[in-house]
Structure formats: C-alpha cells, structure tokens
Structure 1
C-alpha cells in the first residue's frame, strides 16, 4: 500500500506560519503586560494582577480562534512562554512572580484546549482554569516562606476580621469564594464576547507592527535596586499581616519568648531573601542566549516577537 508523503515545503510553510503566529501574539501579550502593567501599578489600582490575568485570557482567546489547526494546539502555552521571557526585560519591579503567573496561566489555558480541542468549550475550560491561578500563586509563595504555620495564621486572621466586622468565619470564606467565582465569570464572559469584537486593531498590529502603547524608557524610569525592592516587599500590608498573625498564634500557643522571636524573624528573613533573589535574577542573559538559538520553534518565535517589539520603537 502506497502512502503519499507530505511535501517538505508544505511542512516548512506551516511551521513558519505557526512560528509567526506565536511570535506575533507573544509580542502583543508582552507589550500589554509591560505597558498596561506599568500604568496599573503606577496608579496603585487594586487587583492589578487579576486585571492582567484577564487580559492574557483575552489575547489567548483571540490567538486560539485565529487558527484551529491541530498543529496549533500548543500555541497558547508557547505564546505565554515566549511572553514570559520577554517580561523579564522590564527594567523595574519583580520578574520571577509575574513570569510564573504568565507561564502557568498559559499552561492552564492550554489544558482546556488539549481536553476539548481548540473549540469554544476548550477555550471556556481553559479560561476557567487560568483564572484560578491568581489565587493559588500567592498561597503557594507564602507557604514556601511560612511553612505549615501559614494555615494557622490565615485562620487567626479570619477570626480577627470576623470579630472586628461582626461576621461569621464562614461568611468571610464565602466572600473570598465570591471573588474567585466573579473572576471566573469575567473570564467566561471574555471568551464568549471575543468573537463579536472587531479584529481590525490586530490586523494593524500584525501588518504594520506599530502601536500607541507608551512604554517608559529604562533611562527615564526610576530603577529600584533588588535590596531596596526586597525591603518594600516585606513591608507590604499582606506580608506584614501574615507575619503578625503567625506571631500572635505562637504567642497564644506558647509563652516561650525565644520561640516567639524565632517565629517572627524566620519568615521575615526567608521573605527578604526570597524577594531579593526574585528581583536580582539576571534574566537578560537568558534573553541573549535564547535569541541566538535558531534550532527550535520556541527560540524562533522569540526572535519574531523581539523583532515585532523592536519595530515598534524604531517605527
């Protein structure tokens, strides 16, 4: 039985189209993360991470709808991976935690497509899974810092809040669950409404590679050193509340002041070291190394995305 082989030129063209697709949307995702993220953070808007998460779901939905070919089934994960590397170019702020968020949200979005295919149902499941990560990541990070005492600290804080606001503990947990469900509903809404939106702006971006996003140049931006940034991170209200909650728990549990001091200093020290290395990691070297590689789809897509971004500033 003779099996007709697929022409190599056809495979090469499809691969190149796939690489261009990944690079284009990865560049767009990275640009919105850098520009909109800078604006949102500078305005100190609450739930900024959740807004950027919904933006990623929006872009991945558009990208997955553009081509439903079987060979494109991993593109959501690839787009997020390339955008993750590009995110490290940000001259200020933390790098590792936003990069972890972008990559994991892209992976979870891709899970829905792998289960139900590149269809509306697959995108809906992917959007729901992706929306959960914004709530899971902080708990994961703080668990690494506080260990098993994180659970006791959260329980103690919920009790104190309930006493202060005259609310039952279950009510506070239901309020938190309400936020989770609200974000999931917003993610579902994005997937449903995206087909009805005009794609002219995306065509303009893809063809001309120009945008109205305003990005601050590195030399014009106030760069915070990793040391100073780590101090700012451990002084954030959420972190301090967890530290105080842990300290209060051990104070009520035991009267050994040595143990109390140890349990106070331990999360502060671990938190400071963690936040310092999160800001210190020299991701620019990884960018340079990956850009020189031309042997796989990821590095080729990275080159396309970088060229898109460079053309924006040059054009």
Structure 2
C-alpha cells in the first residue's frame, strides 16, 4: 500500500501540473521516473488516466474520477501529518498527571505553571489520588506520569527520585518546651500524635520506621488533609508528623516548632514514575525533563 501511495502522489502532481516534466521538477524526480510511475499505476488499475497531447497531458474521465478521491485522501493524510507535527512540537495534545494534593501544592505547582506557559497548547489533566491510586492510574493508562511519595516497589514502573524530603514532628506553642533539646522516640510515643490517615504513603513510611524501632503508633487524630495536620498541631491538639520542606511557612513564621529527635526519621524522596515498557508522549517526556533538570 505504501508503494501505491507514492504512485498516487505522483499521479496527483501530474494532474495539478498537467505536465510530466513539471511534476518531475516538483517531486525532484526524472521525467522518465514519473512516466514509469504513471504507466505502472495505469497498468495496475487497468485504465488510462491521461491523454497525452503536444501541450502536455489532460485527465481522462476515469482519471478525473480518481483524482477527486486522491485529492481528498491526500488532503486528509497531509492534515494528519500536520497534526502529528503539532503533537511532536507540543503545540497540541494533553498531559495526564497523577499526583496528590500535598505534592501538587508544595512541590508541583511551579513546574505546572512553567510548563503551561511554555506549551499552552497542551491540556493539563490532573488526576488526584494516593500513591497506590496513582500507580493504578499509570498502569491502567489513565495517567501518563505520576508524582509520588517514595519509596514504591513496582517492577512495571520506572521511578526517578527528584527531591529529597525529611519527615519531622512539630508542635504548637503549648508544647514548645520539648523543643529545647532532642527527645527520644520513647518520649515521643508518650505525646498525643497527629498523623495522616493510614492509606497515605507518608504515614506508612514513618509508621514502618517507628515499628521497626519497637514503637507501634496510636495517633489521637488521623486526618485526610496535610493542611489539617498542620492546623491541628498549630492549635495545640497534638504533635504532628509532617514533611519539613512542605511546612516551611509554618516553621519560619513561628506558628509551629520542630521537635528534634535523638534518632531522626531517615530521609526519603518524591519521585516521578511511569510505565517502563511504554514510550512517553512528547509532552510527558518534556514534563519529566523539566522536573528532573529543575532538581539537578
């Protein structure tokens, strides 16, 4: 079919130029090659497409009928090629990102803004979810990429750490005295703790660490919003487990105070993930590069 498509392109050029020689110039071919191509097409279709005259060529009735359809078909092909080029040059298309509220607000927003300004023709579709849900979005084809709290273990996903983060514990004015010197994990467990709900990857990570140290947790509050965790601690309802990098405004303003631990929770990362064996779209590839380069 590809070979015949080339014949139709040559046929179309001859039809428009009403000349083998002019068509040859347009197509950067020899006149002999053009004549052979038309002869081959006529042979395959078993019809005469042109009348040869001293002034050039004119279409036969059958040639006119064929040319109407060829013009339409080539026009659709050219439009499709133009659309593909727009996708490649990021003038159109969409980018589907799986990400949670907290990472969106405290990490991703500047990258979304930068990408939207640079490639305003790309529609951004944000799919909100937990780390587990984001992994499912990607594997089911609903999202191109995900931005998740690490670690995650999934052999089907490519994971690229892009920002290191530190889990800490903070308190309001009521508990400020315990920030004067590092406290033990045993002391921490005696305090009223505020955590994100159990399905949160951040919660799972810190809870797993504390459990390995021999301290299963029993929070007084388990909340579905990171902002609520900060606000509950701010009004002295307990000691909150938060991400230091996402709590700077509260810490720098003095609304919350960091509680130093004798044994810090090990640092972890936020990462980009996507399917290993499926090529990224041009938009997704550019977006991943923008975040990766922004953190280098």
Question: Which protein is richer in strand relative to its size?
Answer: 2
Question: Which protein is richer in helix relative to its size?
Answer: 1
Structure with larger RCO (C-alpha < 8 A, sep 6+): 1
Same fold, TM exceeding 0.5?
no
Q: Which structure is larger by alpha-carbon Rg, 1 or 2?
A: 2
Provide TM-score, normalisation by structure 2: 0.22
Provide TM-score, normalisation by structure 1: 0.21
